[in-house]
Amino acid sequence: MMMEHEIEVKVNFTVEDCYDAILEAVSTLKNYEITDENEIIGTVQIKVKGLTASPGDYVTVTISHETSDITKVLIRGGVKVPYLLAKKNCIKNAEAIAAAFANEIKNYEKAGQSASKSKSDDSVENKLERLKNMYQKDLLTQEEYEQKKKEIINSMFN
């Protein structure tokens, strides 16, 4: 029996910015660790660590286009093995990720504004480095890696 708790947020930011904000938000939380990420399909898997977590506690974040300038962020906290505090922890974990995301996304410019991102870490070099890391972790196929790399490099000239 699997338990889950979902939080759905619709925001006026790009999918890319929401994805980056989730990654940054999780990196600020000591009891959460990204175990899998796929920017192409917009998912991030997060493992819950700490004394109150069971080995099966997790959070999954799915990011998708809702409309041309609205992005849907679905945060799902869950447990694979039921235990006494399972439901409470599902809610707590989903809310922790949602709060960290809400705090981080404030650093980005809303969709439709002149710049898509106000953070300086979005250089071409950093994007290529993140892409390479995803490929080395086998999160992307070689074809996906090469295609995305081409897109990033081409963006320098647009």
pLDDT band (50, 70, 90) for residue 150: confident
Residue 128 has pLDDT above 90, yes or no: no
> What are 32-44's pLDDT values in tens digits?
999 999 988 999 9
Q: Which of 92, 89, 101, 78 is nearest to 26 (CA)?
A: 101
Parts of the chain belonging to CATH 3.30.530.20? 3-118
CATH of the domain spanning 3-118, picked from 3.30.1330.120, 3.40.50.2000, 3.30.530.20, 1.10.645.10: 3.30.530.20
39, 62 Cβ separation under 8 angstroms: no
Whole-model pTM: value is 0.66
Top pLDDT among 54 and 30 is at 30
Residue 30 has pLDDT above 50, yes or no: yes
Taking all residues of the chain, what is their mean pLDDT, rounded to a whole number? 83
Determine how β-strand 43-48 pairs with β-strand 32-38: antiparallel
pLDDT at residue 136 in the model:
86
Tell me what the mean pLDDT of segment 96-105 comes to.
92
Q: In what order do the strands lie in the sheet with 3-11?
A: 3-11, 70-79, 57-67, 43-48, 32-38
pLDDT at residue 126 in the model:
82
